[in-house]
């Protein structure tokens, strides 16, 4: 279909990719837990926009440019790692009473959109994934336009999965409101996870 070979495997691979938790997933769940469905969906669209930018970059051959300029790639890796670690530290430093009592001021979905977009854009491995992923399912006779429906599939499946994640996460967050310690623990774990992703990204930077 659309010159996509191994179509069933292509869809399955997208689903598996979504099931692998990453920094974007943490950003979405954190936004949902803090300010509900609107904030979570803001983070979803921020993540999707970041992924879409990297898919476009993969199409345009930006990966080849970055491969020819390793110093630029290293700089982006270090910046991305630093940003994730900074976000994690902010969660760990959050006052206990603010986390536990739920007195945090409401933030708009736009705020979480920007945060999730930044998380996505500062992870260049997302682009490298798409560069490696798309060619696996292109038939020998496929044209460059085949990449367009492939991008659409990735975006739609990601949207459905992540929106479902927000709805589930919001349900869990409501239950945690009566358990301050659990909310505090969830926030701290989210911070540690972001720091872990940042360290992992930095450690892979030669």
Q: Per residue in 131-167, pLDDT tens?
A: 667 777 776 666 667 778 888 999 999 999 999 989 8
| Calpha distance 136→123 (Å, rounded) | 22
| Calpha distance 110→176 (Å, rounded) | 24
Please say whether the beta carbons of 24 and 47 come within 8 A.
Answer: yes
Domain ranges of the chain: 24-203
pLDDT at 186: 66
Q: Per residue in 26-57, pLDDT tens?
A: 888 888 888 888 999 999 999 999 999 888 87
């Amino acid at each position: 279909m659309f010159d996509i070979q191994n179509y069933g495997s292509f869809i399955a691979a997208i689903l598996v990719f979504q099931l692998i938790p990453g920094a974007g997933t943490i950003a979405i769940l954190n936004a949902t837990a803090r300010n509900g469905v609107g904030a979570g969906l803001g983070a979803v669209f921020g993540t999707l926009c970041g992924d879409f930018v990297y898919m476009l970059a993969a199409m345009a051959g930006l990966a080849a440019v970055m491969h020819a300029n390793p110093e630029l790639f290293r700089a982006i890796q270090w910046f991305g790692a630093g940003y994730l670690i900074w976000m994690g530290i902010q969660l760990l430093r959050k006052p206990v009473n603010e986390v536990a009592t739920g007195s945090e001021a409401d933030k708009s979905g736009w705020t979480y959109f920007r945060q999730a977009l930044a998380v996505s854009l500062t992870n260049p491995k997302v682009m490298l994934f798409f560069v490696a992923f798309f060619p696996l399912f292109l038939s020998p006779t496929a044209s460059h336009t085949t990449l367009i429906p492939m991008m659409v599939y990735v975006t739609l499946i990601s949207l459905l999965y992540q929106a479902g994640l927000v709805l589930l996460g919001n349900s869990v967050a409501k239950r945690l409101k009566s358990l301050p310690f659990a909310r505090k623990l969830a926030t701290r774990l989210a911070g540690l996870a972001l720091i872990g992703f940042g360290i992992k990204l930095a450690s892979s930077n030669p």
